[in-house]
């Protein structure tokens, strides 16, 4: 059970990170301190390429079994601006809004049924999960682990972004996004370590990433 302080901290993060590339990463940082460098790397990727992978993400949580990462739309939340709250209620019904069922409806679907709704006033505040221990088991305490965690964050963020913008997602886009991210990492490594110098100090398992 969360303490009152932990509850307040969670609510603060949920509200303060909405619509930004900042996320509540406390769970994965606790599981592996160097996870913070993976998050910084994805934030830098967003900034340098103009993408917004982390914009809809409020929390990066841990995953304790199974796959390397997970995005579950059942955990989605939305922050609805007051200017359109009544309009949304009129279209979808007060019960849908009050019971938080609207959280699970992709923004693309909302736009389909309510084309005049300003989606900038409906901010996703979603969760992705990363299996930190599985990554460490595969690569140890190395640069490869940090890069793979970052790549998995990109993968799961792409699932979320596709679902919100198109109403559907599969593995094709996220896998391509992960490869594109790792390719960008190789090509921009000198600029990256200039911004995140701690990455250059991490031990390497091999030359897989060519950095």
pLDDT digits (tens, 9 = 90+) for 57-86: 999 999 998 999 999 999 999 988 777 777
Q: Which residue's structure tokens are 């998050």?
A: 39
Instruction: Please report, for residues 7, 75, 81, the alpha-carbon distance to residue 42 in angstroms, rounded to integers and kept in the order given.
Output: 27, 22, 28
Query: How confident is the model over 148-188, as pLDDT tens digits?
Result: 999 999 999 999 999 999 999 999 999 999 999 999 999 99
- The model carries a pTM of 0.87
**Is residue 87 located within the same domain as residue 107?**
yes
Note whether residue 120 is domain-resident: yes
Kind and range of the H or E element at 41?
helix 35-49
149 contacts 182 by C-beta, under 8 angstroms: no
Could you tell me if residue 43 is inside a domain? yes
What whole-number distance in Å separates Cα of residue 146 and Cα of residue 42?
A: 11
Which is it for the CA torsion 194, 197, 199, 204, positive or negative?
A: positive
Half-sphere exposure of 126 (CA within 13 A, CB side): 32
Q: Which of 124, 139, 154 is the last residue of a domain?
A: 124
């Amino acid at each position: 059970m969360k303490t009152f302080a932990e509850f307040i901290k969670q609510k603060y993060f949920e509200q303060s990170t909405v619509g930004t590339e900042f996320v509540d990463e406390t769970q994965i940082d606790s599981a592996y301190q160097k996870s913070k460098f993976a998050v910084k790397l994805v934030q830098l990727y967003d900034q340098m390429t103009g993408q917004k992978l982390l914009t809809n993400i409020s929390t990066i949580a841990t995953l304790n079994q199974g796959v390397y990462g997970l995005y579950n739309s059942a955990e989605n939340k939305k922050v609805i601006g007051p200017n359109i709250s009544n309009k949304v209620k009129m279209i979808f019904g007060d019960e849908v809004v009050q019971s938080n069922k609207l959280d699970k409806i992709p923004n693309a679907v909302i736009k389909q049924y309510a084309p005049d709704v300003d989606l900038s006033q409906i901010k996703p505040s979603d969760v992705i999960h990363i299996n930190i221990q599985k990554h460490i088991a595969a690569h140890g305490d190395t640069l490869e682990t940090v890069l793979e965690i970052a790549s998995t964050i990109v993968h799961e963020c792409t699932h979320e972004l596709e679902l919100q913008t198109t109403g559907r997602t599969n593995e094709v886009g996220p896998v391509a996004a992960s490869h594109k991210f790792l390719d960008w990492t190789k090509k921009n490594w000198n600029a990256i370590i200039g911004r995140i110098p701690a990455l250059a100090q991490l031990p390497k398992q091999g030359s897989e990433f060519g950095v």
